């Protein structure tokens, strides 16, 4: 059921979206008749549309050319790895008919589609994110309309061409997956109003717009991932993982490490390991020059977002041979908040370095950092102490804590952890989000619960209040 259109929406915008949504509804009614095997064939078709090597490369090349963000080789990896992992998660997962049955509770669950999904997608991942959302939505026998950023529209259009070719092969209606041909704020806003569910990945402005659209919405929080290096960490392993994660696709990922918090006992050794892994540590003057470039107008400059390190070095006048050869840059920081912009999300190959002597104090500062930017998102720790990892998870208000992992590869699902593959990660009410987990196909299902009569299970007053009465009286 669509939301009531805004009285200020121009008729041509309203009518254009209405026609798009009606085609989607017609296609969704067809998909709703599919059995599990039939819909799984459609899911496999969508996955192959982006995973096929030649297509994965063409999409990556077009994305970098038209958005100016990231690195082709890494986008190829992202297109394929995220798709492979997501398809693995979806394979064998029930999404049609009875999906769960519990004789003890007498509850049987039936999966139903949510309808037409509006998917708002960012320029940072203009093919991987739309494909990922489409896989999950179609798994639930839904139709989906993609709303890419203007810069990412050409990549999304090519992806849609590939998806339609695969849908033709399996005999599924093309209108099951559509996109806004000429993305704009008015069209995206009206799409969100007329759809049945909105899923937003990207700017917090888009997330807020989705939540105010009048349509049920799932949005995600901003990233600003901090990572702790404990006194007993495997330093070479930690440095290698931080490097691989930090430089991947020039830090387009919201899960890319933005700050590293190093224990006093291993501070110098860890900095040496990071240098050996391609990091360049800026001195105070270089840090000031970099700051003036990165926040020249008060906000993070697009000149540095997801750009090669050599370009950032040139912009900031980092002229030494070591700086020009660096794969990422490190700046020493000890403050948090607006007066310390390096404590926020940087979307670039720049890593802030903090030092700590006490883990509890470090956790307190990291919480302050996340409250500034990145609330609820995630944190990592490199340690041999499960006790310390548990301490971080128990005390920080985050949805995910990764232990001894490359953060951007593990946070959105990995083949060596139990998190589901996604490019859309909820950060809970801490970030004003409706979910605090990785987006999955389950978020694209309505569920009907059949409840049967079971043996009576009614407790006595003593069972429920016995301890309370004994301690506090009646």
Hey, which residues are catalytic here? 254
Judge whether 345 and 222 are in contact, CB under 8 Å. yes
In whole angstroms, how far apart are CA 33 and each of 27, 28, 170? 10, 9, 15
Q: How many CA atoms lie within 13 A of 362 on its CB side?
A: 26
Give the separation between CA 351 and CA 307, rounded to whole angstroms: 14
| Euclidean distance between the first and the last CA atom of the chain, given in angstroms as a whole number | 50
Determine the angle formed by the axes of helices 128-139 and 36-51, rounding to 10 degrees. 170
Encoded tokens for 330: 């490190």
Cβ contact 326:275 at 8 Å: no
**SS3 (DSSP) at 218:** strand
Q: Which contacts qualify for 281-286: CB closer than 8 Å, 24 or more apart? A: 281/330, 281/331, 281/332, 281/353, 282/318, 282/323, 282/329, 282/330, 282/331, 282/332, 286/316, 286/318, 286/323
Give 235's contacts (C-beta < 8 A, 6+ positions apart): 229, 266, 269, 270, 273
Nearest to 14 by CA among 175, 192, 143: 192
């Amino acid at each position: 059921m669509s939301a009531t259109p805004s009285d200020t929406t121009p008729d041509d915008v309203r009518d254009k979206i209405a026609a798009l949504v009606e085609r989607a509804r017609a296609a969704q009614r067809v998909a709703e008749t599919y059995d599990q095997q039939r819909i799984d064939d459609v899911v496999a078709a969508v996955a192959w549309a982006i995973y096929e090597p030649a297509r994965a490369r063409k999409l990556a090349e077009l994305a970098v050319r038209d958005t100016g963000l990231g690195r082709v080789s890494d986008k190829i990896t992202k297109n394929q790895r995220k798709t492979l992992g997501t398809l693995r998660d979806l394979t064998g997962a029930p999404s049609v008919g009875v999906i769960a049955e519990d004789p003890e509770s007498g509850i049987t669950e039936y999966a139903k589609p949510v309808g037409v999904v509006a998917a708002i997608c960012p320029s940072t991942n203009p093919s991987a994110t739309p494909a990922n959302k489409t896989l999950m939505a179609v798994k639930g026998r839904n139709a989906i309309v993609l709303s890419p950023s203007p810069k990412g529209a050409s990549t999304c259009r090519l992806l849609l061409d590939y998806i339609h070719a695969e849908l033709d092969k399996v005999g599924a209606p093309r209108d099951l997956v559509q996109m806004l041909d000429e993305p704009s704020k008015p069209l995206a806003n009206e799409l969100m109003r007329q759809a049945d569910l909105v899923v937003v990945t990207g700017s917090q402005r888009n997330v807020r717009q989705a939540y105010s659209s009048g349509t049920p919405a799932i949005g995600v929080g901003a990233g600003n991932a901090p990572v702790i290096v404990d006194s007993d960490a495997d330093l070479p392993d930690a440095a290698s993982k931080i490097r691989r994660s930090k430089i991947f696709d020039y830090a387009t990922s919201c899960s890319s490490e933005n700050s590293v918090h190093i224990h006093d006992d291993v501070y110098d050794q860890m900095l040496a390991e990071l240098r050996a892994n391609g990091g360049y540590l800026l001195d105070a003057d270089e840090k000031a020059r970099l700051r003036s470039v990165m926040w020249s107008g008060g906000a993070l400059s697009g000149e540095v977002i997801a750009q090669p390190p050599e370009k950032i070095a040139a912009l900031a006048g980092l002229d030494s041979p070591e700086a020009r050869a660096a794969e990422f840059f490190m700046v020493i920081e000890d403050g948090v908040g607006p007066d310390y912009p390096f404590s926020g999300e940087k979307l670039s190959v720049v890593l802030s370095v903090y030092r700590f002597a006490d883990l509890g104090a470090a956790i307190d500062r990291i919480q302050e950092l996340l409250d500034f930017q990145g609330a609820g998102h995630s944190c990592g720790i490199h340690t041999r102490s499960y006790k310390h990892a548990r301490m971080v998870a128990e005390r920080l208000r985050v949805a995910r804590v990764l232990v001894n992992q490359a953060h951007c590869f593990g946070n959105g699902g990995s083949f060596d952890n139990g998190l589901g593959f996604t490019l859309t990660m909820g950060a809970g009410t801490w970030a004003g989000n409706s979910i605090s987990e990785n987006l999955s196909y389950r978020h694209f299902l309505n569920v009907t619960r059949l409840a049967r009569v079971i043996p009576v299970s009614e407790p006595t007053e003593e069972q429920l209040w016995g301890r309370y009465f004994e301690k506090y009286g009646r």
